[in-house]
Amino acid sequence: MARTAQPAALKLLNGRGNGTDSGGRKVSTPPAFRRIAPNPPSWLSREAAAEWRRVVPGLQRLDLLKEGDRAALTAYCETWAEFVAATKVLQARGSLTYTSATGDPKTHPAVVIRKNASAQLRAWSIHFGQTPSESGLAKGGSDGEDSNSNPFAGVNPFGPVTP
């Protein structure tokens, strides 16, 4: 899975200080976007609007939002609403499966919807720095640097592997 570049502000927040990221690499100065939270669309579903109200203040405090982020933030919030709706359907059913007309057990469609929404949520969350994961740290970054400039390249975080 391809890594998504983090905003410069997130790289600095997770970095070592002095304008460097967690790997000690210099973080480029981001474009001087006007850092203001976009207005939510009037047609957001109720659950999506609640998620918008939950995440926007924190993202705004970190100067991670700009007006142009409206579409991505809308997609994130509506995907969250899909995840919640599918989860509620499964909770109400009390089962992840159903019996087909032929008597065979089948996976409930809400399982697939929730699984897809979960994958999409992860992808959207990365764009806004909402995941605690620092996976891929040992790989070359997505900003074009090669693995030689990454001080963690080739390091096994679990120590030496013994056969």
Residue 33 confidence class, pLDDT cut points 50, 70, 90: low
* Local confidence band at 64 (pLDDT 50, 70, 90 cut-offs): confident
Question: pLDDT, tens digit, for every residue of 124-148?
Answer: 888 887 766 544 333 334 444 444 4
Q: How many CB atoms lie within 10 A of CB 36?
A: 12
Model pTM above 0.75: no
What is the 3-state composition of the chain as percent helix, strand, coil, each rounded to the nearest 5? 45, 5, 50
Q: At residue 117, what are phi and psi to the nearest 5 degrees?
A: -65, -40
Domain locations in the chain? Answer: 1-30, 47-133
